[in-house]
Chains A and B, each alone.
Chain A
Amino acid sequence: MPKREGTLYPRAVQELIAKKSAVISKAQTFSELGMEDMARQLWATAGGHEERLAPLLDSLGHELEAAIHRISAAGCYRRAGDLTAAANLYRGALAGPLLAHTRPEVERHFRECLAELSRTSFRSVSTRRRQKPAANA
């Protein structure tokens, strides 16, 4: 991929960065305005863009940036309510070359995300289990 003069990245990467930055800033605005339904869709779209960016950066040798885009993707998916995707991406980011002060922060986000995932997934299972005998009775 040819790199544009005066930029850190080739054109295709640059364009994807611009596109997802616009989506993230829009999602942030809708969240601030309390328009959570619209914001969630935008966070999911932004998460998808970040997820695509990360391996492109890996392929260019920008491994640290790739890991940080995975963190951003995880954050976007978390805000979209897709905790499974978020947890996978935090795990992926932790496998990358993070700076020493960033790693504990990401580990904390990962733990919080797993706890949230466990709460939402297993609570609904236990609720169904509790409701089942009542329905049969």
Chain B
Amino acid sequence: MKPRVLQCAIEDLFALHPSFYVEPYIVAFVAVTGQYSVPPASFLVECTGVRTRWLGKARRFKLEVSWTEETIDKAERLRTTMPARSLVEFAAIAVALLLVNRVVQLGTLNVIEHGGRADYRSSVLQRVLEISGTESLADLGRRHRQKIAQALSNPFGWDAYVIVCAFCGEGHHVHFSGHRWEESPYAQA
């Protein structure tokens, strides 16, 4: 069966998250993805533990993201000012913000500062969201496991969604998974 396709423009994030400062994520997304792809860039999204009406029984879908010339100009400027690692993390946040709005509904994301890193959580469900990005497909699985452990150590004792993106020449991939707090070693404590 052919996977479902979700098509959007990265600039849609302005409308999808009006109360969020999304511009740097949008521009970073183009700075990173644009190195490997011309628009629309295609992402294979593999889902586990994510149950939504939109996804139905499917476990994977294709995300196609386009962008504008104006964003390309901004991306070129951002590449010269932001460290590569931060660019990839910001690009992953852009992908995650698209997914959480279109595939699962988390409402306005509540960002908190936690030990020098930003943590995201839903304002409509008791769910946290952990996001990360890499430019190595080989690293995707390891990074995903690491982020699951991190998400399940959230200070709320809430369930978690984890979204990890690999931006690379072999084809962009996303692991999108849902986890119950009960899976956490802290829940047994």
- Interface residues of chain A, those whose CB is within 8 Å of chain B, are 6-9, 14, 17-22, 24-26, 28-29, 32-34, 43, 46, 50, 64-65, 68-69, 71-72, 75-76, 79, 98-102, 105, 109
Given contacts A8-B126, A25-B118, contact A33 B156 (CB under 8 A): no
Q: How far is the CA of A46 from the CA of B109 in the complex (A)?
A: 15
Which of chain A's residues have a CB closer than 8 A to the CB of B49? none
Partner of B156, one of A25, A28, A64: A64
B82 and A75 contact, CB distance less than 8 A? no
A7 and B186 contact, CB distance less than 8 A? no
Given contacts A17-B123, A102-B155, contact A22 B19 (CB under 8 A): yes
Tell whether B38 is near chain A: CB-to-CB under 8 Å. Answer: no
* Smallest beta-carbon distance B153→chain A, Å: 6
Partner of A100, one of B19, B115, B189: B189
Q: How far is the CA of A32 from the CA of B91 in the complex (A)?
A: 13
Tell whether B112 is near chain A: CB-to-CB under 8 Å. Answer: yes
Partner of B189, one of A28, A29, A76, A101: A101
B108 and A17 contact, CB distance less than 8 A? yes
Partner of B111, one of A7, A25, A43: A25
Partner of B113, one of A8, A32, A34, A79: A79
A71 and B108 contact, CB distance less than 8 A? no
B111 and A8 contact, CB distance less than 8 A? no
* Tally of contact residues, B, Cβ under 8 A: 32
Tell whether B56 is near chain A: CB-to-CB under 8 Å. Answer: no
Which of chain A's residues have a CB closer than 8 A to the CB of B153? 101
Q: How far is the CA of A114 from the CA of B116 in the complex (A)?
A: 17
Given contacts A14-B123, A33-B82, contact A22 B189 (CB under 8 A): no
Choose among A18, A68, A109 the residue with the greatest number of B CB atoms under 10 Å from its CB.
Answer: A18
Which of chain A's residues have a CB closer than 8 A to the CB of B111? 20-21, 24-25
Which residue of chain A has the shortest Cβ distance to B24 in the bound complex? A29
* Smallest beta-carbon distance A47→chain B, Å: 8
A75 and B116 contact, CB distance less than 8 A? yes
Q: How far is the CA of A21 from the CA of B83 in the complex (A)?
A: 23
Top 10 A-B residue pairs of the complex, sorted by shortest distance between their CB atoms: A18-B19, A75-B113, A72-B112, A21-B111, A102-B155, A25-B21, A29-B24, A26-B21, A32-B86, A24-B111
Choose among B19, B81, B82, B153 the residue with the greatest number of A CB atoms under 10 Å from its CB.
Answer: B19
* Smallest beta-carbon distance A125→chain B, Å: 28
Instruction: List, sorted by A's number, 23 A–B pairs whose CB atoms are closer than 8 Å.
Output: A6-B107, A6-B124, A7-B123, A7-B124, A8-B122, A14-B123, A17-B110, A18-B20, A21-B19, A21-B109, A21-B110, A22-B20, A24-B112, A25-B111, A28-B118, A64-B155, A64-B156, A65-B156, A71-B114, A71-B155, A72-B113, A98-B155, A100-B189
